[in-house]
Copies of this chain bind each other. A is one copy, B any other.
Amino acid sequence: MTQKIRGVLSPVITPFTEDLRPHRVRYLRHCRWLIAQGVGLAVFGTNSEANSLAVSEKRELLDFLLDAGLPASRMMPGTGSCSLTDAVELTRHALARGCESVLMLPPFYYKGVADDGLFAYFSEVIQQVASPTLKIYLYHIPPVSQVPINHRLIERLLKAYPGNIAGVKDSSGDWNHTRALLKDFQPHGFDVFAGSETFLLQTMQHGGAGCISATANVNPAAILDLFLNWEAPDAGARQAELDQVRAEFSKFSMIPALKSAIAVFQKEPAWARVRPPLVPLSGDQARTLEGALRRMHFELGAFEEAA
């Protein structure tokens, strides 16, 4: 059995060409830079605009990264979908290409569905994929999906598929919820990742596995630093610094803000593109964010150096 992923992962943002296709060259550069900074690649997450892509586009992007030599062992592709068929196809493909860890949204079109239905969905994926090496990380993000993954469901899934249910990304934004997951499930080897670095120090203090955070796209080294040094005397101060950076991004819609920062600091305006229904930051917003980041001496470094 391969080692489970721990640490800091970035839900990798997806650059687009002028006609809104994924921009492979920019994507690869960004992914190489992230790996060089020491963070893993949670490609096809919420921040990746993954649900705005077709399954075929995700397959191609994954193939492209792996063919370029990026390590499957450092990836946790998002493969959950409203469509059981799509979830099975993308999970199978990820696994066939060596990515054993996948992050799965629940099906999110129907609201108020019964636990039995969500259990049946994950069961079907696991049974159809039928691989002992598959590690599913459940993606709890009720503010967006509107479909929670509750404690009872996790218990049932863990009991039925102890080898395949590997952990959770908790993007509830509620520390009490994350703490309860850490208390109830982490001792059983079910890895709890905080959904943002806001809760990274607390998550580590309670035995968690790390964080998967939007801002790891732009501030990976500092976030990783706290993960590696969470027991250091200055860990609280490091956490406060991370919080300050995140606070500037959180003043805007997160995904366009991340892309805007990369567009500015990499001097590649095209990075600012998003797929509808998202909209890029306005010129004023982009300048406000840039000003705030420059005042705190924020730097990205050049992506090219890593590529």
Instruction: Give Cα distance in the complex from A118 to B52, angstroms.
Output: 12
Contact with B along A272-303 (1 / 0, CB 8 A): 00011111000000000000000000000000
Whether B51 lies near A83 (C-beta < 8 A) is: yes
Is there contact, CB below 8 Å, between B124 and A20? yes
Contact with A276, one of B86, B89, B107, B275 (Cβ below 8 angstroms): B107
A67 at interface by CB-CB < 8 Å: no
A278 neighbours in B (Cβ, 8 Å): 110, 113, 117
In the bound complex, CA of A82 to CA of B277 (Å) = 9
A121 to B275, CA, bound (A): 8
Given known contacts A57-B85, A111-B146, is B121 in contact with A276 (CB within 8 Å)? yes
Total interface residues on A, CB under 8 Å, equals 40
Bound CA span A176–B164, Å: 49
Interface string of A74-85 (1 = CB under 8 A from B): 000000001111
Query: Known contacts being A83-B52, A86-B54, is A144 close to B276, with CB within 8 Å?
Result: no
B52 near A277 (CB under 8 angstroms)? no
A117 touches B83 (CB 8 A): no
Which residue on B lies nearest to A122, using beta carbons?
B276
Q: Mark A94-114, 1 if CB is under 8 A from B, else 0.
A: 000000000000111111011
Closest to A118 in B: B277
Where the two chains meet, the residues of A that have a C-beta atom closer than 8 Å to any C-beta of B are: 20, 46, 51-57, 82-86, 89, 106-111, 113-114, 116-118, 120-121, 123-124, 143-147, 275-279
24 sampled A-B residue pairs with Cβ under 8 A: A20-B84, A46-B109, A51-B83, A54-B89, A56-B85, A57-B85, A84-B275, A84-B276, A106-B277, A107-B276, A108-B109, A109-B144, A110-B277, A111-B144, A113-B277, A113-B279, A114-B277, A117-B276, A117-B279, A118-B277, A120-B276, A120-B279, A124-B276, A147-B277
